[in-house]
Amino acid sequence: MNFLGFGPSCNVDIVLSETTSKRSIDIRKDKAVEKQPLVIGKEPIVGNVVVKPVPGKRLEHLGVKIELLGQIEMFYDRSNQYNFMSLVKELLSPGEVADDVTLPFEFLNVEKQFESYNGINVRLRYFLRVTIVVRKAITNTVKELDFWVQNYQPEPEINNNIKMEVGIEDSLHIEFEYDKSKYHLKDAIVGKIYFLLVRIKIKYMEIALIKRETTGSGPNLFNENETLTKFEIMDGNPVRGELIPVRLFLSEFDLTPTYRTVHNKFSLKYYLNLVLVDEDDKRYFKQQEITLWRKK
């Protein structure tokens, strides 16, 4: 029913071309899984907008447009969305539509600076939005379609190993070393731990991979730590001179690259956390940041 401007005046669909929709990715969203088209870097966004007036009715409109939007949404402040990218194309001038009409569109060579991200307190999304300004209607007709963006990154020119020492004076002295500090998302972290001095009785040792999401600033600054994996690498008391190998395959986890700062709204960092537990259940730990990047 469309009485005095109420009810839909038309149906709208956004249909991506086979080139744009050839890849898809499963995205976890609100405890569900949603399939979205996957776009890499500057790949074009091409397709058609299909407008279907209600049978027997003419669609009187003041214009049809499509927008390509990049948006950051803070979950603690859903009233404010931050658009860091906005491109608009006019598809149809004001007039009437009596029959179904197909309107082609394309966004070519558009730099998508940031990757898509669904986090604990923040979401970064890319989407298409079609708006039809309907004459004599209470609201416009709007249709949105999300797509997922990933960006390949060049291999780091400098990638030094990590070598650090940790200990308690006259009681414990440990040296740990990782083969590098920057890893691609399908890489393997390889390292070793040396016990140089052991005068306390250690029960076990474990290593964890931690993701830290930081959002907002000032009173609205939130840090969320998520332990992606944690596993024991030693059981029992080590002796001086003992060497413990470390190997962690990153391909087993759902990871994103490191984000130092995204539009001054949020950052995402990864850490390796080494924990030792003694007989009295005292915990000794050392945390080290690593950088993740997406390899082509």
pLDDT band at 38 (very low <50, low <70, confident <90, very high): very high
* Residue of 84 and 9 predicted with greater confidence: 84
117 contacts 268 by C-beta, under 8 angstroms: yes
What is the pLDDT at residue 101? 96
3 pLDDT exceeds 60? no
What is the pLDDT at residue 65? 98
From 259, 289, 223, 293, select the one nearest 72 (Cα to Cα).
259
Model pLDDT for residues 68-88, shown as the tens digit of each residue: 999 999 988 777 789 999 999
29 contacts 141 by C-beta, under 8 angstroms: no
46 pLDDT exceeds 60? yes
69 contacts 129 by C-beta, under 8 angstroms: yes
From 76, 107, 130, select the one nearest 265 (Cα to Cα).
76
| Sequence-ordered list of residues with C-beta below 8 angstroms from that of 92, at least 6 positions apart, any chain | 51, 61, 63, 64, 101, 103
What is the pLDDT at residue 59? 92
Q: Which residues pair with 52 in a beta bridge?
A: 11
Q: 176 is written with which tokens?
A: 């740990």
78 contacts 259 by C-beta, under 8 angstroms: no
pTM, rounded to two decimals: 0.88
162 pLDDT exceeds 70? yes
- Segment 194-198 mean pLDDT: 87
6 pLDDT exceeds 60? no
2 pLDDT exceeds 60? no
CB atoms within 10 A of CB 4: 8
* Residue of 281 and 126 predicted with greater confidence: 126
Instruction: Please give the mean pLDDT across all residues of the chain.
Output: 91
Sign of CA dihedral 77, 80, 82, 87: positive
What is the pLDDT at residue 7? 59
**What CA–CA distance (Å, rounded) separates 176 from 205?**
13
